[in-house]
Chain A
Amino acid sequence: MSAAELSIRGLRVGIAHRHGVDEIVRGVDLEVASGEKLGVVGESGSGKTLTMLSVLQLLPSPLAVLGGQVLLDGEDLMHADERRLRAVRGGEVAMVYQDPMSSLNPLLRVGTQIVEALRAHGVPVEAARARTREVLGQVGLPQPERIESSFPHELSGGMLQRVMIAMALSTSPKVLIADEPTTALDVTIQQQILDLVSALQAETSMAVIWVTHDLGVVARLVDRVAVMYAGRVVEQAPTRKLFARPTHPYTAALLASLPGPEIGHRKPLHQIGGTPPDPAHLSPGCPFRARCPYAIGRCAVEEPGLIDRGSGSVAACWREPELWES
């Protein structure tokens, strides 16, 4: 395996207050090599967005990194100064935010914002304008001139997402982190974007982290998948392996929630029973225990760490899948 382009080690994120700390992201390890595509899926509220925001130190207060490391090609970003971070953000590491409206300036035309971002990374103004036009075309936006001169509120949800993707790709980053970047795109345009990212990656060996709830997109795009639950990665595996033989009960339950052809029109869809735990007030043991059909005594006492499951996969579960039914 080639060296990691970006690696997140033991990341903990939370809120410190008088009585102690509420930990929300509880020790996350993720790595992505150059030329590799990592998918991140998982429970809504499990800490995917907070993990990604931590990479570029963009957490809004009172949230803060409580511990851990972020290494970009070996360089420790947690101890980088503000000047270096500004160069990394939108330069070597580009991010597509889950909520485009909050990361764009509502008072500036979209084109101006992309041009300014490029200029901040030293691109001369004429070249920045040309590049802006080029990337807006690449993401399939019709009438790039109109899009450029529009304000964010004048664009549709999917147009904004494509603007964000165009902006992220404009500096040819080494690492692209995309947080739910295609939820507002119809599937034909989504396919175009996935193909574009794959093609650019083949060209530039960019490393990609793609956060999504769409397991179809995961199957189509990524090489490896990390599954998050209650502030931790609970399983990580090569894509084929994850779908064929999940080794964490949460992953298995998630896959079982996909609507199959056997479910009739308007009939109840499968869902995981019970409720997700409050990450700030976890009881001891495995956080999935209360919802897990395979829990044993030990699960209530001790939280499992990631355990090797062979063929490149790891899972945080005390029980081998072979024994689930017994």
Chain B
Amino acid sequence: MRGSGGEPALSAHELVKHYPGGRNRPAVRALRGVSLDVRAGETYGIVGESGCGKSTLARLLVGLEPPTSGSVEIGGQPVDVGPKVDRRALARRIQLVFQDPFSSLDPRLRVEQALAEVLQVHGLHVERRDARVAELLDMVALGRRFADRYPHELSGGQAQRVAIARALAAEPQVLVLDEPTSALDVSVRAEIMNLLVRIQDELGLSYLFISHDLSMVRHISDDIAVMYLGLVVEAGRFDQVLDSPLHPYTRALADAVPVPDPEVEEARRDSSAPTAHSVFVEPAQGCPYSPRCPLVEPICREIAPVLLGTGDGHVVSCHVASRDFGAKLSA
């Protein structure tokens, strides 16, 4: 059964990641204190601004890079990064499907070699390795004819599916998926989503699902966090966050989703002024969203808001949203 409670499958505690600056270059504070718990057998969705630190978070969670501070635990055990790490054991516990599939596939390995290598390293399906490779290709809707292709002989969506098959090959407990369906047509996307849901239900895998595709994040996630500039600005159950968003950035996201209906889009285009191509400078203090925020008040430019709960697990980091929510409760 899913969501059986108990120990979280994956948790992050106050993760901070800074990349040092260089010659006339400021340092980058990619993550500024992110905490989250992925419950066993469940999906935790992450959405957020481009460049807000989602892929950085993914790399820290699977131990590819050390955090500047903070820690990661998988099934209650801390993940260490360093020379002494048992990479092989870690790979059975957690796998990452990279945002850029081409850069994560070895250009010298044919698809079947790439998959067989994973099986071999972990001693999986020793007696029936070829059959397992074929199974994995079928699972991601590719079929055997792709077995002897090199990565450069694949289309974008085909490479993305090979990357997913490769992560599944290790049979990990936790799968971190960074934009796993961005290069797929809607039918193949449906097929991959159905596969992910099915194997989660069957095997109790836990997912961290990062995507800009709000409809897919909503479809698969139990919980969702919204990130902005290295911070979680809103989190809660999927329906709380996406159906009743509290943070103005989450609302802007929900409003900007393009609808596959030209009449709706035309009406929208005629009614709204085109968005200015403005560049938002990160404020020295106060709320990181304040330069873009339509609800901004003087306090927002002074004091950074913190994540506050609404009582039922829905949290938001916004002065105005928290105040309005409080007022609604006491009314």
**Contact A149 to B23, CB < 8 A, known contacts A98-B156, A142-B281, A259-B190:** yes
Q: Which segment, of A81-89, A268-276, A311-319, faces chain B? A: A268-276
In the complex, whether B86 has a CB less than 8 A from a CB of chain A is no
Contact flags (1/0) for A25-66 with B, using CB distance below 8 Å? 000000000000000011111000100000000001000000
Select which of B19, B54, B190, B278 is within 8 A of A154 by beta carbon: B19
Query: B174 to nearest A CB, angstroms?
Result: 18
Residues of A within 8 A of B238 (CB): 265
B24 adjacent to A149 (CB under 8 Å): yes
A187 adjacent to B253 (CB under 8 Å): yes
Residues 266 to 288 of chain A near chain B (Cβ within 8 Å): 266, 268-272, 275, 278
In the complex, whether B265 has a CB less than 8 A from a CB of chain A is yes
In the complex, whether A199 has a CB less than 8 A from a CB of chain B is yes
A139 adjacent to B277 (CB under 8 Å): yes
In the complex, whether B279 has a CB less than 8 A from a CB of chain A is yes
**Contact A272 to B253, CB < 8 A, known contacts A102-B102, A145-B24, A266-B220:** no
B261 adjacent to A144 (CB under 8 Å): no
B182 adjacent to A45 (CB under 8 Å): no
Residues of B within 8 A of A263 (CB): 219
The size class of the interface chain A forms with chain B is 35 or more
- Residue pairs across A and B with CB atoms within 8 Å: the count is 195
**Contact A191 to B275, CB < 8 A, known contacts A42-B185, A101-B102, A102-B102:** yes
Query: B166 to nearest A CB, angstroms?
Result: 17
B25 adjacent to A146 (CB under 8 Å): yes
B186 adjacent to A254 (CB under 8 Å): yes
B256 adjacent to A180 (CB under 8 Å): no
B186 adjacent to A257 (CB under 8 Å): yes
In the complex, whether A253 has a CB less than 8 A from a CB of chain B is yes
Contact flags (1/0) for A180-217 with B, using CB distance below 8 Å? 10011111111110111011000000000000011111
Q: Which segment, of A72-80, A123-131, A155-163, A302-310, faces chain B? A: A155-163
In the complex, whether A219 has a CB less than 8 A from a CB of chain B is yes
Taking CB as reference atom, which chain B residue is nearest A259? B215
Residues of A within 8 A of B220 (CB): 266
Taking CB as reference atom, which chain A residue is nearest B249? A188
Q: Complex: how many Å from CA A180 to CA B181?
A: 12
In the complex, whether A326 has a CB less than 8 A from a CB of chain B is no
Query: A53 to nearest B CB, angstroms?
Result: 11
Q: Complex: how many Å from CA A259 to CA B193?
A: 11
A187 adjacent to B214 (CB under 8 Å): yes
B193 adjacent to A198 (CB under 8 Å): no
B47 adjacent to A268 (CB under 8 Å): no
Residues of B within 8 A of A45 (CB): 155, 157-158
In the complex, whether A298 has a CB less than 8 A from a CB of chain B is no
Query: B156 to nearest A CB, angstroms?
Result: 5
In the complex, whether B257 has a CB less than 8 A from a CB of chain A is yes
Q: Complex: how many Å from CA A186 to CA B214?
A: 9
Q: Complex: how many Å from CA A268 to CA B193?
A: 8
Query: B159 to nearest A CB, angstroms?
Result: 9
A187 adjacent to B189 (CB under 8 Å): no
In the complex, whether A320 has a CB less than 8 A from a CB of chain B is no
**Contact A213 to B189, CB < 8 A, known contacts A186-B50, A191-B258, A198-B274:** yes
B48 adjacent to A156 (CB under 8 Å): no
Query: A142 to nearest B CB, angstroms?
Result: 6
Q: Complex: how many Å from CA A293 to CA B176?
A: 37
A189 adjacent to B49 (CB under 8 Å): yes
In the complex, whether A120 has a CB less than 8 A from a CB of chain B is no
Select which of A44, A158, A217, A270 is within 8 A of B188 by beta carbon: A44
The size class of the interface chain B forms with chain A is 35 or more
Residues 92 to 150 of chain B near chain A (Cβ within 8 Å): 99-100, 102-103, 141, 143, 145
Residues of A within 8 A of B23 (CB): 149
A271 adjacent to B274 (CB under 8 Å): no
In the complex, whether B26 has a CB less than 8 A from a CB of chain A is yes
In the complex, whether B88 has a CB less than 8 A from a CB of chain A is no
Of the candidates A102, A150, A184, A263, the one having the most CB atoms from chain B within 10 angstroms of its own CB is A184
Taking CB as reference atom, which chain B residue is nearest A144? B279
**Contact A253 to B187, CB < 8 A, known contacts A44-B156, A180-B156, A275-B141:** yes
Q: Complex: how many Å from CA A198 to CA B103?
A: 32
Q: Complex: how many Å from CA A184 to CA B156?
A: 13
B50 adjacent to A185 (CB under 8 Å): yes
Taking CB as reference atom, which chain B residue is nearest A15? B153
B274 adjacent to A199 (CB under 8 Å): yes
A259 adjacent to B145 (CB under 8 Å): no
**Contact A216 to B259, CB < 8 A, known contacts A142-B282, A188-B252, A265-B238:** yes
Residues of A within 8 A of B171 (CB): none
B263 adjacent to A240 (CB under 8 Å): yes
Residues of A within 8 A of B191 (CB): 271
In the complex, whether A137 has a CB less than 8 A from a CB of chain B is yes
B156 adjacent to A219 (CB under 8 Å): no
Q: Complex: how many Å from CA A112 to CA B280?
A: 23
Select which of B152, B194, B275, B280 is within 8 A of A142 by beta carbon: B280
B190 adjacent to A257 (CB under 8 Å): yes
**Contact A187 to B256, CB < 8 A, known contacts A44-B188, A99-B102, A259-B215:** yes
Residues of B within 8 A of A149 (CB): 22-25
For this complex, 9 residue pairs linking A to B, each with C-beta atoms less than 8 Å apart, are A101-B102, A156-B55, A157-B50, A184-B179, A213-B184, A220-B268, A257-B187, A257-B189, A269-B193
* Seed contacts A188-B256, A271-B191; 12 additional CB < 8 Å A-B pairs: A44-B188, A102-B102, A143-B281, A156-B54, A191-B256, A213-B183, A216-B259, A218-B260, A253-B187, A254-B187, A257-B187, A257-B189
Shortest beta-carbon contacts, A-B, top 9: A158-B50, A44-B157, A216-B258, A269-B190, A215-B260, A183-B182, A271-B190, A187-B256, A272-B187
